[in-house]
Chain A
Amino acid sequence: MDTLNLEGTEDTPKVILDKENGIFELSGRSLPEDSAEFFQPVLDWIEEYSNDPNSETVFEVKLEYFNTASSKLILDILSDLAEIEGTTIVWYFHEDDEDMEEAGEEFSELVELPFEFKTY
């Protein structure tokens, strides 16, 4: 399956979805003008991946900032991942960023997925 690799920009996050090497990562800043359009390829990739996933999927979220329109799409991504057995979310937040920590906790309450919290 093809790797999805999107370079981050000042208003869109970096995305790496690589089944072969087991790398699943979303990082940087997310405040695109049209978040639905930006995240569609990510949702499409996950949908295809869910047909034949690895036995373990460790999805790392290391966002410095995301806007509210992105938060809706992140929930969609997490909901799709929750359907894939063996998925864990690793939620990174800067050690003094309580809001990002809380955002991760809220997502963990909204989806049935194990979350691991790490600071950077």
Chain B
Amino acid sequence: MQTQDLILIYEGEFTQDITKAVLSMAERNMDSSGEESSVKRKVFNVMVECLQNISKHAESFDEKSKAKNNAIFMIGKQEKEYFITSGNIVRKDSVDSLKNKLDKINSLDKSGLKELYKEIIKAGKLSEKGGAGLGLVDMARKSGNKLKFDFEPVNQKFSFFSLQTTIHRS
């Protein structure tokens, strides 16, 4: 049987303060378990991009709700890997472009990802939301693995977007 330790699971609103708290708890957990510093850095890196993507892009599907950026974030550990998983609501009209971006990222190898990163950073200006458009590319690069994702329709207007990044230990 596969055993998976959940290090942390958080559901609710995502802000920079929550991001910092989640990062600090996960870091402490990895420190106390004596994780290798190179693995720790990669996990930290992927967590930051994932958490900041959520706080920039998650939509609230109850438009009357005051809580913005509601989402779920999870970090788990198995014998050989860490899993960083997030789930959040996105507008249906942004699903196609997001899916195309993820498919493109997953089609590229290490050097292809490097070129894509350089292309985006050279051309790029920060978006209105302050993103560089590099987060997903960076998650794929730092993890060295394909990004697993899924879109589930919620209603006419929204879909649930889930994303999982795997980081090998050692």
Majority SS of interface residues in chain B?
helix
A88 within 8 A of partner (CB): no
A67-B126 CB under 8 A given contacts A72-B121, A97-B41? no
How many chain A residues touch the partner (CB < 8 A)?
A: 24
**CB interface residues, B 118-166, toward A, < 8 Å:** 118, 121-122, 124-126, 130-132, 134-135, 137-138, 142
- Which of B24, B45, B130 meets A36, CB within 8 Å? B130
Q: Which residue of A lies closest to B136 (CB)?
A: A68
Majority SS of interface residues in chain A?
helix
Q: Which residue of B lies closest to A11 (CB)?
A: B20
| Residues on B facing A (Cβ under 8 Å) | 16, 19-20, 24, 37-38, 41-42, 44-45, 48-49, 52, 55, 114, 117-118, 121-122, 124-126, 130-132, 134-135, 137-138, 142
Give 12 A-B contacts (CB < 8 Å), ordered by A residue.
A11-B16, A31-B19, A31-B48, A32-B16, A35-B130, A65-B48, A69-B52, A69-B130, A71-B132, A75-B121, A109-B118, A110-B121
